[in-house]
Amino acid sequence: MPTVSSTTSTISSSASISTPKVRCFDPATSSPATFHHRRRSMNHSKCSSDSPGANGGAMAAIADQKIVNGEAGYVLEDVPHLTDYLPDLPTYPDPLQDNPSYSVVKQYFVNMDDTVAQKIVVQKNSPRGTHFRRAGPRQKVYFELDEVHACIVTCGGLCPGLNTVIREIVCGLHHMYGVNRVLGIEGGYRGFYARNTITLTPKVVNDIHKRGGTILGTSRGGHITSKIVDSIEDRGINQVYIIGGDGTQKGASVIFEEIRRRGLKVAVVGIPKTIDNDIPVIDKSFGFDTAVEEAQRAINAAHVESESIENGIGVVKLMGRDSGFIAMHATLASRDVDCCLIPESPFYLEGPGGLFEYIERRLKENGHMVIVIAEGAGQELLSESMRTMEQADASGNKLLQDVGLWISQKIKDHFARMQKMAINLKYIDPTYMIRAIPSNASDNVYCTLLAHSAIHGAMAGYTGFTVGPVNGRHAYIPFYRIIERQNKVVITDRMWARLLSSTNQPSFLDPKEVARKKTEETQEPKASHDRLEAATAVLIV
Ligand SMILES: Nc1ncnc2c1ncn2[C@@H]1O[C@H](COP(=O)(O)OP(=O)(O)OP(=O)(O)O)[C@@H](O)[C@H]1O
Ligand SMILES: O=P(O)(O)OC[C@H]1O[C@](O)(CO)[C@@H](O)[C@@H]1O
Ligand SMILES: [Mg+2]
């Protein structure tokens, strides 16, 4: 463990915001440590709160950062703890030490000083860099067993594995900590104040992991912070498990801020969910592998259809609003795809180096081809040609035009106009089919680890964090790190190069553009491919 010798933290955004240096109890080391609570202004693209409309207008929330500096450039970006604002909370021995299943584990409790490195590829003299607190059970817990009243809510779009996470939170709380009071909030955030609740017991959730969707229902929009926290307070809930994507984690962050402002003993835990894999820092999100696997069925169908007919073209549209991970991984897995188009890599249709030229060449060489397109790809081309009004969903997410239909029509029109070759195009749109299914075996295991890590964190009194694997080890990540940006495919990384060399498609980039992207991306803190590659390692809580 590095020495907790703090150096002065900087004020990241506004000089008018104070940086209180707090002498506080460090629950991890059981000894007093000096933390620097760095306050910073978060620019939420969409807004929380009590404002009208989707989520109201733009708002800057303030998040505290608990930064611990150690030797050799070691930095711990720690998560909040209930004792930060309720210093006199009593502790209790973790009941796991008496649990017959767990007591056999040699070193069951994680070392209090364990942290997980964000960067694992290092050189001899590199600084040790950013670390996150390691997830897992602690020897002391901050809740008595019959005191815990937990709730679970699922928000945003569907994703394989939602029911597994719900099941494992309920069963984990029950089996590991003897907790019997768990409420399911129906219909997403608005369910806290506008819908019913379901009592969740191990019996109720026993089989739900075999079903797609979420037994709790979900929604977009409707995040009214004060009403949600009123409901938490009125119901006497003291552990809130929030499962959802980037928008949901922003919502969880403001709920945590409000709970802390009110001084409530309530742990707020985010569990990242998104098949788009657009959440940063974590290796990958649950359900992603399942979605990629299911996408293979559509790609196979497109391949069979296209190769059975002269100049056959199969077009498959996959999900991925701002990030093309599903399309990229489905393409790499399949090897039948000739072209993959994603939001991060702009493309063009006409002229030398364009898509039409490539299609023509591929059909001449091979007689058929398969194109995979992410739903968010080429949106700028669509809005140019369609000039429609921009619309948003209830959460404020931009509603996309159907790029699959559009590109299919464009390809057909092009070849009809050229009169050089008759093509046969089949368009397959499996978008909702890949996310409405139950999670596969490996995602099920992953969901279990996420749920267990979340429970251990809440029981240990940590709050205001999202749980997830970082380089294969589960960690507690402060909300501000999760919501500050989206995870995107880095097109100057090796993974995208692998894809280009597997499909042989043009990069659609001129050399100047490549150089610009490289400069842009060297400033990014962490390359995405590192994380997805690390994610293939065994996930250990
Ligand atoms: N900035 C924000 N502040 C507070 N709540 C938010 C914010 N952004 C989104 N939310 C709320 O979070 C919930 C889910 O958001 P959203 O619909 O964007 O889905 P998501 O969690 O990003 O999941 P996905 O995009 O993967 O489907 C909604 O109820 C929305 O009101
Ligand atoms: O139609 P819905 O439920 O709003 O969800 C669509 C969006 O949800 C996601 O699956 C996850 O964000 C996106 O890929 C997709 O654009
Ligand atoms: Mg989202």
Which of ligand 2's atoms lies nearest the C-alpha of 320? Answer: 14
Percent helix, strand, coil in the chain, to 5, is: 35, 20, 45
Above 60 in pLDDT, residue 60? Answer: no
pLDDT of 17 over the 70 cut:
no
Please give the structure tokens belonging to residue 466: 């999202």
ipTM score over 0.90, yes or no: yes
Instruction: Report the catalytic residues.
Output: 276
Q: What's the CA gap between 395 and 267, in Å, rounded?
A: 25
Decide: 541 and 474 in contact? Cβ < 8 Å. yes
Residue 22 pLDDT > 50: no
C-beta 393 within 6 A of ligand 2? yes
Q: How far is the CA of 36 from the centre of ligand 1 (A)?
A: 30
Summarize pLDDT for 496-519 with one digit per residue, the tens: 999 999 999 999 987 666 667 667
Mutate to test the pocket of ligand 1, among 162, 214, 248 (most ligand atoms within 8 A of CB): 248
Q: Which residues line ligand 1 (CB under 6 A)?
A: 44, 46-48, 55, 155-157, 188-189, 219-223, 244-248, 250-251, 254, 274, 276, 395, 397
51 pLDDT above the threshold of 50: no
At 503, list the tokens.
Answer: 């499909």
* 465, 477 contact by CB (below 8 A): yes
| 54-58, 369-373, 490-494, 504-508: the lowest-pLDDT one | 54-58
pLDDT band at 63 (very low <50, low <70, confident <90, very high): low
Backbone angles phi, psi at 489, to 5 degrees: -65, 130
Pocket test for ligand 1, best of 49, 155, 158 (most atoms within 8 A of CB): 155
CA 444 to chain centre: 16
Mean pLDDT of the region 132-160: 96
> 243-253 pLDDT, tens per residue?
999 999 999 99
Nearest atom in ligand 1 to the alpha carbon of residue 188 is: 29
Do 75 and 131 form a contact (C-beta atoms < 8 A)?
yes
53-57, 161-165, 214-218, 455-459: least confident range: 53-57
Tokens of 389: 């009004």
Average pLDDT over the chain, rounded to an integer: 86
Please tell me whether 164 is known to bind a ligand.
no
Query: What is the token pair recorded at 540?
Result: 């250990």
pLDDT above 50 for 284: yes
